[in-house]
A and B are shown apart, each in its own frame.
Chain A
Amino acid sequence: MLSYVPVLILFIFALLLGGAFVFLSYFLGRPKKTTTKLNPYECGVEQATLPRIPVNIKFFAVALMFLLFDVEVALLYPWAAYFKSMVSEGLGTFVLIEGLIFIGILFVALVYIFRTGILHWENGK
């Protein structure tokens, strides 16, 4: 452990030195904020468009749908993991129906999403 002490000293030294330089330049330099300086750098050419391009709102909708359906499946993991032991206890039908009801609810949601046209990409409905 002791052999690492020089490394530690090196680290501390580097930190101090770096910090000192930053502080010194902050106090001595006092950078002026001008419009040109704050602009995004674009090779001297005038900025053409805003850097943030509005993304089509449908991306958000699809992302939300993905988020929901992706995470809902997490509930199926324990169901799948316990399925075999439940079957051996003679509760197979009950567990199967339970799982089917859950998937059925997800299916209803999917049908609803399809019919309301959220996943419809063309001719922007």
Chain B
Amino acid sequence: MEYIVLSVIIFCIGVAGILLRRNLIIILMSVELMLSASNISFVAFSKMHGNLDGQAVVLLLYVLAACEAAVGLAIIVGLFRLKGSVDIQLFRDLKK
């Protein structure tokens, strides 16, 4: 049970990070935090139910999270080369 609470807390930290921070790298880290939170709850629930499904899922999710992080970092590098900064406030050319 404690682990579920922990994962919820981490998830909320991730959401807060996405909503409040302006640095793209930190926002990306917050997204990863949210994914890790679900990994924790998968493992915790796996222990609770006594089957290994959840733990197998975690391995797959690791890979997905890494792919997402890689693509995100690549996009951020592209943006940095364009504008010389990773502040999200700079990227609002499109109509709000």
Summed over the interface, the residue pairs from A and B with CB atoms below 8 Å come to a total of 29
Which of A57, A60, A64, A71 contacts B63 (CB under 8 A)? A71
B59 in contact with A74 (CB, 8 Å): yes
Interface string of B65-96 (1 = CB under 8 A from A): 01101100110010001000000000000000
Q: Give chain B's interface secondary structure class.
A: helix
- Is A7 among interface residues, defined by CB-CB distance under 8 A? no
Interface size on B, residues (CB 8 A): 13
Check: B60 CB closer than 8 A to any chain A CB.
yes
Residues of B within 8 A of A60 (CB): 73-74, 77
Taking the complex as formed, is A78 at the interface, i.e. its CB lies under 8 A from any CB of chain B?
yes
Q: Is the CB of B60 within 8 A of A68?
A: no
Which residues of A lie under 8 Å from residue B62 when comparing CB positions?
71, 74
- Cβ of A121 under 8 Å from chain B: no
Known A-B contacts A64-B70, A67-B69; A57 and B81 likewise in contact (beta carbons under 8 Å): yes
* Least CB separation from B74: chain A residue: A64
In contact, B81 and A67 (Cβ under 8 angstroms):
no
Bound CA span A60–B69, Å? 12
Q: Is the CB of A78 within 8 A of B70?
A: no
A77 interface residue per 8 A CB criterion: yes
Q: How many residues of A contact B (CB 8 A)?
A: 12
Is A98 on the interface with B (CB-CB < 8 A)? Answer: no
Q: In the docked arrangement, what's the CA distance between A72 and B60, Å? A: 9
Nearest Cβ in chain B — how far from A18, in angstroms?
26
Q: Give the nearest-CB partner of A70 in chain B.
A: B66
CB within 8 Å for A74 and B63 given contacts A57-B81, A60-B77 = yes
Distance from A86 Cβ to chain B, minimum over Cβ atoms (Å)? 15
Q: Which residues of A pack against B, CB within 8 Å?
A: 57, 60, 64, 67-68, 70-72, 74-75, 77-78
